[in-house]
Amino acid sequence: MSFEVTPQTMSFGEPLPLRSGARLAGYSLTYETYGTLNANRSNAVLVCHALNASHHVAGVYAGQPKSEGWWDNMIGPGKPVDTDRFFVIGVNNLGSCFGSSGPMHVNPETGRVWGADFPVVTVEDWVDAQARLLDALGIDTLAAVMGGSLGGMQALSWTLQYPRRVRHAVVVASAPNLTAENIAFNEVARRAIVTDPDFHGGHFYAHGVLPKRGLRIARMIGHITYLSDDVMNEKFGRELRHATAEGASYRYSTQDVEFQIESYLRHQGDKFSEYFDANTYLLITRALDYFDPALAYGGNLSAALAAAQAAFLIVSFSTDWRFAPQRSREIVHALLDNRRRVSYAEIDAPHGHDAFLLDDVRYLGVVRAYFEGIAQEAAP
Amino acid sequence: MSDETTQRRIAQMVPRGSRVLDLGCGDGALLDLLQRERGCTGYGVEIADGNVLKCVRRGVDVIQLNLEEGLALFQDASFDIVLQIDTLQHLRNAEVMLRETVRVGRVGIIAFPNFAHWPNRLSIARGRMPVTRRLPYEWYDTPNIRVGTFKDFEALAHKNKLRVLEAFGLQNEREVRWLPNARAGTAVFRIERSA
């Protein structure tokens, strides 16, 4: 069993200006910390989460032995990001449904549940909010900021928005922006949610219903894109749900579950629709779509990354087609153009995008080695 | 070739404070030496997972990349020195990589096993491919897919309009300036692009 952790919440009175031009009057952030901040406050590591994760990065909650955080294999005592040496912070992003201010909460200015009216938030807005949390925790400079996928985008954005506050950035299975195909997947997921009759324009809370059908389909689509063809074939192949002793037998039904992959996807969809908020899904996929630091530089990523001061570790996975190695190489290319310190590991792993959450000795080994180097620098 | 004396000899050819790209950097020992003792900066390029890990462990910046895919990640003339130490003989596109070397760097330093070293010639004369300390593989399992000589490289450099700034052999950790093509197991060239 992993170590025990407790989530905390911090409220902020000062309004947060957002990229959209709107501002969030008052808000709160839910976060967890692991390890101890050293005397000269030089060992803080911020971990940014991806689409459906949260501040619960590592450890377990008291009395819930199976409640491991989403990156528990990466972070903890003696783990690659060793909490015996680092003070690790996980923050739930604004608009999420796991504690920080989001569409399920009451808008303090109207007294009504935000629902679809929760302001559109961007990766940059999240980073601004995270920076305020660090201010409140008395942390000026991060030893490292790290994240995978959308979390990697936040880590990259940190180095551009607050270049002097980040010594290292670890960007895993990420991209400098989404491709058209990637936005397309997000749009299909959003349409599934928005066209669910229970969505009610995003104000379903008032109707006492949840657009679970839409969420299920959104999750099913997402799940397909997180796996590789090979892994899916290895795991499920053409295996039938109702195989008999005599072997395969079709039921000749168009609507029943026939194949194991169907059963698996439906199960994942069902599980997800029970705990995830529909408006949050829309908000977070939009934040993914909008992220594009090169946009303000005419699409020139090298120009965009000129602001970065940090040293980087970039990691990608060979079978990840949602955030393909080529996208990570674009980041590496831009960093090389700017003569920034960067190491790049391209892990030949079979698991697709999900690989960033899994145990692969080469992947975890490189991250461990990188953080050992940071620990030596950060030592008081 | 990875012995420390040879690395030190190569390191002496790299001016202090240079920006260095080490193609096929292995475990990063040479770059580490250049960073610690000659104030250099730069990156290694390596394909093997184990070597990438060793580089990160010693704090050498490394880019995991198959050199056969070229050096599109690197801008023209973005390095003072590009190293290819015991790398060329493993490359299918050895000539392209030579051109890439002088594209991304002002000066290239290339070292590779000299196939015309006299014990190799003797072995061939006897009718067998050489197996030596420097070339320890049998013909059927060697990773050295480009077997060339000191003189061959001079010709290749000439063909690609490269200026040879310095060329010598290395044998038993000693420099060989007289008849290196016959007397040295390792060929070392310092080259640059002719203007």
Phi-psi category of residue A247: left, alpha or beta, with phi > 0 → left and psi -120 to 50 → alpha: left
Q: Tell me the C-alpha distance between A254 and A301, whole Å.
A: 48
Query: Which residues in chain A have Cβ-Cβ distances shorter than 8 Å to B52?
Result: 343, 345, 366
CB B45 within 8 A of CB B22: yes
* A266 in contact with B, Cβ within 8 Å: no
What does the pLDDT read at residue A249?
81
Contact A373 B59 (CB under 8 A): yes
CA distance A43 to A89: 11
Which residues, in sequence order, are bridge partners of residue A168?
A311
Query: How many CA atoms are closer than 13 Å to the CA of B46, on its beta-carbon side?
Result: 24
Residues of B in contact with A329 (CB under 8 A): 73
> Which of B53, B65, B75, B79 to mutate against chain A (most A CBs within 10 Å)?
B53
Q: What's the CA gap between A79 and B47, in Å, rounded? A: 26
pLDDT of A2: 84
Interface test with A, best of B56, B62, B71, B79 (most A CBs within 10 A): B56
User: Which alpha helices (DSSP H) does A138-228 contain, by range?
Assistant: 150-161, 180-194, 212-226
Q: Is the CB of A362 inside 8 Å of chain B's CB atoms?
A: yes
What's the pLDDT at A243? 73
Query: For testing the chain A interface, which of B21, B61, B65, B78 should be mutated: the one with the most A CBs within 10 Å?
Result: B61
Of A329, A362, A372, the CB nearest to B49: A362
Cβ–Cβ contact A326 with B under 8 A? no
pLDDT of chain A, 380 residues: tens digit per residue = 689 999 999 999 999 999 999 999 999 999 999 999 999 999 999 999 999 999 999 999 999 999 999 999 999 999 999 999 999 999 999 999 999 999 999 998 899 999 999 999 999 999 999 999 999 999 999 999 999 999 999 999 999 999 999 999 999 999 999 999 999 999 999 999 999 999 999 999 999 999 999 999 999 999 999 999 999 999 999 999 887 667 668 889 999 999 999 999 999 999 999 999 999 999 999 999 999 999 999 999 999 999 999 999 999 999 999 999 999 999 999 999 999 999 999 999 999 999 999 999 999 999 999 999 999 987 76
Q: Between A336, A346, A366, which is nearest B53 by CB?
A: A366
**pLDDT tens-digit series, residues A34-45:** 999 999 999 999
Q: What is the pLDDT of residues B75-97, one digit of tens each?
A: 999 999 999 999 999 999 999 99
| Distance from the first to the final alpha carbon of chain B | 32
> Which residue numbers of B have CB closer than 8 Å to A's CBs?
19, 43, 49, 52-53, 55-57, 59, 61-65, 72-75, 78
Token digits for A355? 């690989």
**Cβ-defined contact of B53 to A373 (cutoff 8 Å):** no
Apex CA B175: angle with CA B170 and CA B179, to 5°? 80
Distances (CA, A) of A289 to A78, A263, A284, A352: 36, 30, 9, 20
> Across the interface, which of A333, A339, A366 has its CB nearest the CB of B52?
A366
**pLDDT for residue A247:** 67
Cα of A231 to nearest chain B Cα, Å: 22
pLDDT score, position B194:
85
- Which pLDDT score is estimated for B2? 55
Provide the whole-model pTM. 0.96
What ipTM goes with this model? 0.95
Query: In the prediction, which pLDDT does A377 show?
Result: 87
Beta bridge partners of A146: A47, A170
Residues of chain B neighbouring A366 (CB-CB closer than 8 A)? 52-53, 56
A342–B61: do the CB atoms touch at under 8 Å? yes
Chain A environment of B23 (Cβ under 8 Å): none
Sign of CA dihedral A53, A164, A134, A278: negative
- Identity of the amino acid at A346: E
3-state secondary structure of A56: coil
Give how far B63 is from chain A: nearest CA, Å: 5
Alpha-carbon distance of A272 to A212, in angstroms, equals: 9
Q: Which of residues 274-303 of A touch B (CB under 8 A)?
A: none
Number of Cβ atoms within 10 Å of the Cβ of A257: 17
- Reduced to 3 states (helix: H, G, I; strand: E, B; else coil), residue B27 is coil
Can you tell me the distance from the alpha carbon of A304 to that of A18, in angstroms, rounded to the nearest whole number?
20
pLDDT, averaged in runs of 10, over chain B (195 residues):
79 97 97 97 98 98 96 96 96 94 96 96 95 92 93 97 97 93 97 88
